[in-house]
Structure 1
Amino acid sequence: MGFYLSKSRTVMHNLKPKLGSLGVMFHQSSGIASFYHHQESQSGLIKNLGAGSCNRPTLFTIWRSEHFKAEKQLDCKQNCGGPQVLNFPGGNVKFTSELDFLPEGLEERVHCYRILDENGQLTSSNFVQISDELAVRMYTYMAMLQTMDTIFYEAQRQGRISFYVTAIGEEAINIASAAALQLDDPVFPQYRESGVLLWRGFTLQEFANQCFGNKNDNCKGRQMPAHYGSVKHNYFTVASTVATQVPHAVGAAYSLKMDRINACSITYFGDGGTSTGDFHAALNFAAVMEAPVIFFCRNNGWAISTPVGDQFRSDGIVVRGQAYGVHSIRVDGNDALAIYSAVRAARQMAITEQRPVLIEALTYRGGHHTTSDDSTRYRSAEEIEWWRVAQCPVSRFRKWLEKEGWWNSDAETELRASLRKQVLHAIQVAEQVEKPPVADIFTDVYDAPPSNLHEQETTLVEAIEKHPKEYPPNFSC
């Protein structure tokens, strides 16, 4: 909102006693506070780790831009930069006599931040140092996620669960980003971030309960398998609809800002999600309102069967953040150290400077999109195998641990055997637990259920009683 002020200065003089703090703000700033500010120097994210809070003007005021004041505009056209500069809302714009269109892209693609190469060798010292304890814990959870995905996928193929989504090839994105966050940071996932929830303490048994939809499932069997959610772990429930969680994360971030909570929200999405209107609306809203949110894009090359080359012509996703005025970085998504460093720096930037940050992680979806997909129909088996073996983030991180002397083959054998045993046990237990009662389908929405829901419940109970063989034996009414 802005006020159009006439040339008469007596207007503000008469309004000032009625404006209270806004009048004082106006007087102290000698005009309406400018919403726009000069962009800071383009230094790397890691170098900003120690940066202090930003002193940019707050947005909690209707006095957002001195450019709403016509007299100021006219004065600046005459005195602020001469005839070669236009003082336009948003900042000064220089004139040129060259008929020069902006190119469709940069001559060179945006560089990708990396610390570990494919052999687990350090390529730089510009990363956040982590302890051996944290490094081993991160690797343990990466291996746990890998094991859980492998066995749950097999369980689906055996017909024991109806659906599953793996994060094969994206274990570093899951665990390393989760390790760089705090529990106070709300997570708005897509459907390939189960490792984030795993890191936060959601147990293997809870994962199995959800996939089997038994009565111990905290979603009460109402969600598709692998569509997890947990209030306790500040992890919003997964929705199959693409990118709808992105604007939700921005709204949550803005509420954190208004409540002055020392946290930020983070939302995960794939390259396909950036082709939706929700992504663009969310990015623009976050940039304009300066919401402390991290946009984390898993650019894994494929939106189900659509390659990135068929989605956009620009240089990936990182340049889209820049176009909206959002600090952005491209990271090697198969490098756990790079992911951890980038997310930790982005979190500090989002909180201390109260601004959004976009991370594009280049990785590869090593498995099928879901168990309903056969990715060999649109990409070669050789391509998949090369990425799964040569670029495996779990193997890369393990090699680094071994070079540091923090891991060895004996520890690996023991860990893998233990994890497999734990996952199999969780599945066996979940499989034996009865399903939630049918009545749970109709609860938790209305305080007093309407008549049409009662009719639907009655019809469903009659169908179960009439065709008992069509339903599980432990499916109670």
Structure 2
Amino acid sequence: MASWGRRSSGMVHHIKALSKVELRGKAGAMKGGWWRYPVQPGVASALVPRSWPCVNTMASLFLVQRFKSSLPQKQVEDDDGDQDLDFPGGKVAYTSEMKFISGSYDKRIPCYRVLGDDGELIKDGSDFEKVNKELAVKMYSDMVCLQIMDTFMYEAQRQGRISFYMTSFGEEAATISSAAALTKDDIILPQYREPGALLWRGFTLQEFVNQCFGNKDDGGKGRQMPVHYGSSKHNFVTVSSPIATQLPQAAGMAYSLKMDKKDACVVAFIGDGGTSEGDFHAGLNFAAVMEAPVIFVCRNNGWAISTPTSDQFRSDGVVVKGQAYGIPSIRVDGTDALAVYRAIRAARSMAINEQRPVLVESLAYRVGHHSTSDDSTKYRSLNEIEHWKTDRDPVNKFRKWVELNGWWSERDEADLRSSIKKQLLKAIQVAEGTEKPPLTELFTDVYDLPPSNLVEQEKLLRQTVNKYPHDFPSDVSLH
């Protein structure tokens, strides 16, 4: 067996040898369960059927499971043991006891947090990374900005001014704090509820609105549906409608950073519903085997459109899924800006310094509808929505903490909200009055020289427009 292992011609062995990647190994332990926040006084217990423990120490929360079977090069050098099965991938101990591994555990994985719902540091909450006034104020300001932008653009869709929109209500801290913990060189692959990360990196309100209106100033040239943002300038890969396709791509991008010895990582976001896609498992396994520096951030908001997590999987949420792939994992309170910031900072350090993937599960309830095409009151109660909207709002929680530090006032709040609203009203007015991309853009950016069939299609389209001009949008240039 040892001889076979040394002469293995497997792809992984060759790639690791060529890139001179050192194998590393660690082991840890984990336990399982399912999540729901504890009920607040006066709230019916039926709203929140289960709870999970929140803790304030993070050192023990990363579930690090890199089994010996993931270290074949080391194992094949070990002496054969009489009580071991020397199998490709590593030795496995024999046992005379027939025992099935349990599919569940008595205790659920705890949830790391720093702030209580009152915005104060929880007792003995020393395990968090202190942030200065400038960083804290920007984080809070961007959370408010995202909340107001979502309100305005949602109403714009309801008025028929744009075709579609998706809000981030309830998840503002999860995305903005994640972005705050990264550097500009880290590459972000979003799902569709991460505009906060792009806002943090400097994407302007006018650019957001232009994309939703699909005008000629839209960086995507009007080819994407609303909220499918992207910006190469900000290392933010364009949103793709198919769910979870970005995860295998993230693993590949991260491996390229590894080969180039870049001091950066890739961060890929996914919702809890996306973890039921095959690409989720392919992406995690690919990243684990190739030891790619990528952080997988799952926004577990309790709902995959209308499917609750209780109907979607039987495991303890998403955090335990990392163990099967040998990926260190952590569960964090997604409504706690400081906890998310600390967890992502630690995950980034681990991904880059140890050259390995990390899984972060953020628990933050989706307060808004799935999209403007959805009415969530058909499958969940108004009381449940209101409970999370009022009692566990991440923006209000972080504001309380910033105010307790003496960094924010009522005057600051009024000035900020007034300024953002004025900017948004102007941005919408400008975007609405801007022409759509010219007709030519339908046929560019694919081929260097357009093939004959594409030339024929453009010719036919122009003939149709000239024949039926009243059926063609007046704000689209024919040039």
TM-score range, shorter chain: 0.7 to 0.9
Asked whether the 8 Å contact 2:75–2:91 carries over to 1, the reply is no
Q: How many angstroms does 1:86 deviate by?
A: 3.7
Report the CA distance between 1:151 and its aligned residue: 0.2
Shift of 1:105: 1.1
263 and 369 in structure 1: CA distance in 2 versus 1, 3 angstrom threshold: same
CA 1:270–1:5: 2 relative to 1, 3 Å: closer
1:380-399 to 2 correspondences below 5 Å = 380-399=381-400
TM-score (norm 2): 0.85
Corresponding position: 1:4 with 2:1: no
Gaps of 5+ in 2: 8-16, 31-55, 62-69
1:174 Cα shift?
A: 1.4
Report the equivalent of 2:39.
Answer: none
Q: Which residue of 2 aligns with 1:160?
A: 161
- Structure 1 residue 38, shift from structure 2 partner: 4.4
User: CA deviation digits over 1:198-218, x for unaligned, max 9?
Assistant: 110110011111111111111
The question of whether the paired residues in 1 share the 8 Å contact of 2:72 and 2:90 is answered with no
SS in 1 for 2:112: coil
RMSD: 2.7
- Pairwise mapping of residues 244-393 of structure 1 onto structure 2 (< 5 A)? 244-393=245-394
Alignment of 1:369-448 (within 5 A): 369-448=370-449
Question: Secondary structure of 2:298's partner?
Answer: strand
Deviations 1:440-474 (A, max 9, x none): 01100001111221222223223333333434322
**1:155 & 1:116 partners in 2: Cα distance?**
34
Q: Which residue matches 1:101?
A: 100
Residue number in structure 1 paired with 2:73: 65
Unaligned runs of 5+ in 1: 8-21, 26-32, 50-58
Q: Deviation per CA, 1:210-269: give whole Å up to 9, x if none.
A: 111111111111111110111100110001100001111110000000000000000001
| Displacement of 1:5 | 8.0
Following TM superposition, by how much is the alpha carbon of 1:114 offset from its aligned partner in structure 2, in angstroms? 0.7
User: Aligned partners of 2:438, 2:169: CA distance in 1, in Å?
Assistant: 34
In structure 2, the CA distance between the partners of 1:460 and 1:273, relative to structure 1 (3 Å rule), is same
User: Residue in 2 aligned with 1:451?
Assistant: 452
SS at match of 1:318: coil
Q: Which residue identity lines up with residue 187 of structure 1 in the other structure? A: I
Q: How far, CA to CA, are the matches of 2:279 and 2:338 in structure 1?
A: 30
Preserved CA contact (<8 Å) 1:45 1:346: no
Over 3 Å counting, the alpha-carbon distance change for 1:119 and 1:253 in structure 2 is: same
Q: In structure 1, how many angstroms separate the alpha carbons of the residues matched to 2:182 and 2:156?
A: 31
Residue 241 of structure 1 is matched in structure 2 by 242
Which residue of structure 2 lines up, in the alignment, with residue 15 of structure 1? none
Quote how far apart the aligned CAs of 1:309 are: 1.4
For residues 114 and 48 of structure 1, the distance between their equivalents in structure 2, rounded to whole angstroms, comes to: 13
The answer to whether the Cα contact below 8 Å between 1:46 and 1:345 also exists between their aligned partners in 2 is: no
Corresponding residue for 2:27? Answer: 39
Once the two structures are superposed, residues 262-282 of structure 1 have per-residue CA deviations (whole angstroms, 9 ceiling, x without a partner) of 000000010111001101011
Whether the 8 Å CA contact 2:303–2:366 is kept in 1: the answer is yes
CA distance in 2, matches of 1:96, 1:414: 69
Contact 1:174 1:195 in 2 (8 A): yes
Name the counterpart of 1:185.
Answer: 186
After superposition, the Cα gap between the structure-2 partners of 1:424 and 1:3, relative to the gap in structure 1 and judged at 3 Å, is farther
| Alpha-carbon distance in 1 for matches of 2:340, 2:356 | 19
**Which amino acid in 2 is paired with 1:276?**
E
2:67 is aligned to none
Letter in 2 for 1:119: D
Amino acid at match of 2:341: Y
Q: State the alpha-carbon separation in 2 of the partners of residues 34 and 185 from structure 1.
A: 22
Residue 161 of structure 1, CA deviation = 0.6
Distance 1:106 1:128, change over 3 A: same
C-alpha distance in 2 between matches for 1:380 and 1:4: 60
| Percent identical residues | 59
Query: Is the CA contact (8 Å cut-off) linking 1:34 and 1:66 kept in structure 2?
Result: no
What are the Cα deviations for residues 59-109 of structure 1, in whole angstroms up to 9, with x where unaligned?
9xxx962666xxx67xx33xx4xx334444444433333222111111111
| Cα displacement (A) at 1:304 | 0.9
Task: Note the alpha carbon deviations across 1:361-398, whole angstroms, 9 max, x for none.
Answer: 01111111111111111111221121111111001000
Whole-angstrom CA distance in 2 between matches of 1:352 and 1:41 = 21
Task: Measure the CA separation in 1 of the matches of 2:444 and 2:344.
Answer: 39
Q: Look up the match of 2:48.
A: none
Larger Rg: 1
Distance 1:424 1:435 in 2: 19
Please name the residue that 1:29 is paired with. Answer: none
Count of aligned pairs: 434
Partner of 1:16: none
Which residue does 2:226 correspond to in 1? 225
Say if 2:5 and 2:88, in contact at 8 Å, map to a contact too: no
Match of 1:263, SS state, is coil
Secondary structure of the structure 1 residue equivalent to 2:313 = coil
Note if contact 1:36-1:91 (Cα within 8 Å) is conserved in structure 2.
no
Amino acid at match of 2:445: D
- Which stretch shows the higher mean deviation, 379-388 or 135-144? 379-388
Q: Which amino acid aligns with 1:39?
A: A
Residue 350 of structure 1: how far off its partner (Å): 0.2
Measure the CA separation in 2 of the matches of 1:134 and 1:167: 21
Are 1:213 and 2:214 matched, yes or no?
A: yes
The 2-side partners of 1:107 and 1:378 are apart by 30
Instruction: Find the aligned partners of 1:396 and 1:222 in 2 and give their Cα distance.
Output: 38
- The amino acid that maps onto 1:120 is G
TM-score norm. by structure 1 comes to 0.85
Q: 1:272 to 1:6 in 2, by over 3 A?
A: closer
Counterpart AA for 1:4: W
1:145 Cα deviation after fit: 0.5
